[in-house]
């Protein structure tokens, strides 16, 4: 017997309804006696008719939910996309007390496309997405921010922990070997980090500060992790 349908000292009625080719909705009804089960059995035609009438509405809701999901996911990497970030930063993220924002960028990525072609470039981007996913908690977010740039939101992380996560990402990616028809090559990442609410009480300002720290990492030679510092903001040479 199906374990979902079995419950001690209960009579069970299991009614499956095919909502679509990919979805079956199962209604489980538990009652205390055979008499009550008999009464429910007489209601099955009414219940079935209700679900048949509701089927188009349920199909529409499922379709709209899937369409909404696809607009928030980057198809190449299967990470969240910039549209998701825009919605999340506006509506949800400030419910959390603290988090780190990491901007991750592939160093000299244009050289990959120019030298090996866009197919190889796509493989490099997918590899970054895989590394990011491997190094974050289930509650964190990895987002394709644009092109070869990614954004991580890591909740309840100290500055030390955030730097450690970023360096783990950087080292794991640097160890990957990419193959082409003629040769192999490796690539590196640079990472800029800011902290909410330490650096700013505005999530978008934290994104800007992480971007500034990333710029400093690039300027200082790439393949490194830099945390935002207040003097970066006032340094007109940057």
CA separation for the pair 211, 102 (Å, rounded): 8
Q: Can you list the alpha helix ranges (DSSP code H) found in the chain?
A: 34-71, 82-91, 109-116, 118-134, 159-174, 203-219, 230-234
Active site positions, annotated? 148
Q: How many Å apart are CA 29 and CA 63, to the nearest integer?
A: 27
At residue 110's C-alpha, the angle toward residues 104 and 113, to 5°, is: 115
Residue 113: HSE in the Cβ half-sphere, 13 Å Cα cutoff: 10
Q: For residue 173, what are the contacts with CB-CB under 8 A and spacing of at least 6? A: 127, 128, 131, 187, 188, 189
Question: 32 phi and psi, to 5 degrees?
Answer: -95, -15
Q: What CA–CA distance (Å, rounded) separates 216 from 80?
A: 26
Q: In a 10 Å sphere around its CB, with 0-12 CB exposed, 13-18 middle and 19+ buried, how is residue 202 labelled?
A: middle
- The number of helix segments (H) and strand segments (E) in the chain equals 7, 9
Helix (H, G, I), strand (E, B), or coil: what is residue 229?
coil
End-to-end CA distance of the chain: 69
């Amino acid at each position: 017997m199906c374990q979902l349908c079995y419950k001690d000292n209960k009579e069970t009625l299991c009614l499956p309804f095919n909502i679509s080719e990919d979805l079956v909705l199962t209604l489980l009804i538990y009652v205390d006696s055979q008499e009550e089960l008999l009464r429910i059995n007489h209601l099955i035609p009414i219940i079935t008719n209700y679900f048949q009438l509701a089927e188009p509405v349920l199909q529409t809701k499922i379709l709209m939910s899937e369409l909404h999901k696809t607009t928030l996911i980057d198809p190449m990497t299967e990470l969240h996309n910039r549209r998701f970030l825009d919605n999340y930063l506006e509506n949800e993220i400030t419910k959390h007390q603290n988090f780190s924002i990491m901007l991750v960028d592939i160093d000299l990525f244009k050289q990959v496309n120019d030298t090996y072609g866009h197919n190889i470039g796509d493989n490099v981007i997918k590899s970054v997405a895989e590394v990011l996913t491997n190094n974050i908690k289930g509650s964190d977010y990895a987002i394709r921010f644009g092109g070869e740039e990614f954004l991580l939101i890591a909740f309840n992380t100290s500055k030390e922990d955030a730097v450690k996560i970023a360096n783990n990402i950087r080292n794991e990616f640097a160890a990957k070997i990419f193959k082409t028809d003629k040769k192999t090559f490796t690539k590196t990442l640079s990472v800029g980090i800011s902290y909410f609410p330490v650096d700013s009480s505005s999530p978008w300002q934290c994104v800007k500060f992480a971007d500034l720290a990333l710029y400093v990492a690039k300027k200082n030679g790439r393949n490194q992790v830099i945390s935002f510092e207040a003097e970066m903001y006032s340094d007109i040479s940057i």
